[in-house]
C-alpha cells in the first residue's frame, strides 16, 4: 500500500497545527491523517491563481443563512474560492481538538478572513478572540450586526453618539463604573469632532427612548473597536447591507454583468 501524498506546503501546515495545539506533540498517525486531509481538502485554498476567503460565523439558524450568503457573494467574483470550515470533511482526530486544528490550518492558508457576528454567544465569538490575538488579524475583516461606531472619525452627529452610548449601556461583563467612564470618554471624543452634546443629555435621551442594540459583551465590543480603528470593521443591519459590505472586501470584483 502506497503512502498518502504529502502536500507541497506540509511544513507550513504542521506549523499551523503546532500553533493550534500550543506545541503539543502530534503522533505519527495523527500527522499522517492531518497531512492526508490537507492534501485532499486545502489545495483550493492555497491555489495561487485565485483568492481564498475563510468565512466565519454561527452555524445555527437563522445565522448560517447569512454566513452562506457572504460566501456565495464572494464566490461570484473572478478567481475566488470562499468557504466555511464546516464544509470541509472531518480529519478524524479523536484525541485532539479538531476544530482548532482546522481553524489554524485554513486561517494560515487563506488570503482573507471574513467574520460575521450577530450575537454575544456561540463559537463565532471565540473565533473573534482568535482573530484579534493572532497574526490572522492582519488578513481579517469583521462584520458585526448593528455595531455602532465609537471612534472620532465615525461620529457625525448626536444620533451617532446616542447609539454608541446605548451600545455601551447594553454591554455585558462590564460594571457601572466602567460604563460611566466609557460614556464620558465617548462624549469627549464627540466634542472633539465638533458635536455639541453632554453626558447628561445622552443619559436623558437614553432614558426617554428605548434604543434596541445587540447585547455584545464588553470584550467583544473592544475587539470590534480594534477592527474599526484598523479600517476593517463593516457594521450592518439588513442582509442587503451585509452583502453590500462584502463587496468592499479586497480581491477580484464581481463580474460587471452580475452587478447590474
Check whether residue 156 and residue 246 sit in a common domain.
no
Domain that holds residue 158: 152-208
Check whether residue 26 and residue 136 sit in a common domain.
yes
User: CA angle, 137 as apex, 136 and 141 as ends, to 5°?
Assistant: 110
Has residue 19 got a pLDDT over 80? Answer: yes
Give the pLDDT confidence score for residue 121 in this predicted structure.
54
Query: What is the average per-residue pLDDT within 152-163?
Result: 89
CA 176 to mean position of chain CA atoms: 28
Has residue 124 got a pLDDT over 70? Answer: no
Residue 14 lies in a domain: yes
Check whether residue 117 and residue 241 sit in a common domain.
yes
Residue 110 lies in a domain: yes
Residue 257 lies in a domain: no
C-alpha cell belonging to residue 170: 447594553
Check whether residue 127 and residue 198 sit in a common domain.
no
Residue 96 lies in a domain: yes
Check whether residue 172 and residue 186 sit in a common domain.
yes
- Distance, in Å, from the CA atom of 149 to the CA atom of 52, rounded to the nearest integer, reads 28
Q: Report pLDDT digits (tens) over 204-224.
A: 999 998 888 877 888 888 899
Check whether residue 223 and residue 202 sit in a common domain.
no
Check whether residue 79 and residue 134 sit in a common domain.
yes
Check whether residue 176 and residue 112 sit in a common domain.
no
What's the whole-model pTM score?
A: 0.86
What's the structural domain count of the chain? 2
Check whether residue 143 and residue 35 sit in a common domain.
yes
Residue 3 lies in a domain: no
Check whether residue 53 and residue 125 sit in a common domain.
yes
Q: Which helix (H) or strand (E) holds 53?
A: strand 51-56
Amino acid at each position: 500500500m502506497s503512502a498518502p501524498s504529502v502536500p507541497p506546503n506540509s511544513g507550513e501546515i504542521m506549523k499551523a497545527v503546532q500553533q493550534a495545539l500550543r506545541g503539543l506533540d502530534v503522533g505519527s498517525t495523527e500527522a499522517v491523517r492531518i497531512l492526508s486531509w490537507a492534501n485532499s481538502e486545502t489545495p483550493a485554498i492555497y491555489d495561487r491563481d485565485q483568492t481564498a476567503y475563510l468565512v466565519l460565523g454561527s452555524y445555527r439558524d437563522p445565522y448560517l443563512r447569512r454566513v452562506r450568503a457572504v460566501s456565495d457573494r464572494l464566490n461570484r467574483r473572478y478567481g475566488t474560492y470562499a468557504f466555511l470550515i464546516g464544509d470541509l470533511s472531518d480529519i478524524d482526530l479523536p484525541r485532539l481538538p479538531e476544530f482548532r486544528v482546522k481553524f489554524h490550518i485554513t486561517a494560515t492558508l487563506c488570503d482573507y478572513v471574513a467574520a460575521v457576528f450577530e450575537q454575544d454567544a456561540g463559537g463565532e465569538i471565540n473565533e473573534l478572540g482568535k482573530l484579534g490575538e493572532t497574526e490572522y488579524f492582519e488578513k481579517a475583516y469583521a462584520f458585526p450586526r448593528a455595531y455602532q461606531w465609537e471612534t472620532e472619525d465615525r461620529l457625525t452627529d448626536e444620533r451617532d453618539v446616542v447609539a454608541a452610548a446605548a451600545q455601551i449601556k447594553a454591554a455585558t461583563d462590564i460594571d457601572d463604573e466602567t460604563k460611566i467612564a466609557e460614556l464620558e470618554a465617548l462624549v469627549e471624543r464627540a466634542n472633539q469632532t465638533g458635536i455639541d452634546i453632554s453626558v447628561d443629555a445622552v443619559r436623558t435621551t437614553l432614558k426617554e427612548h428605548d434604543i434596541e442594540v445587540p447585547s455584545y459583551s464588553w470584550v467583544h465590543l473592544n475587539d470590534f473597536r480594534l477592527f474599526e480603528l484598523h479600517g476593517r470593521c463593516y457594521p450592518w443591519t439588513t442582509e442587503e447591507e451585509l452583502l453590500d459590505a462584502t463587496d468592499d472586501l479586497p480581491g477580484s470584483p464581481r463580474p460587471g454583468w452580475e452587478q447590474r
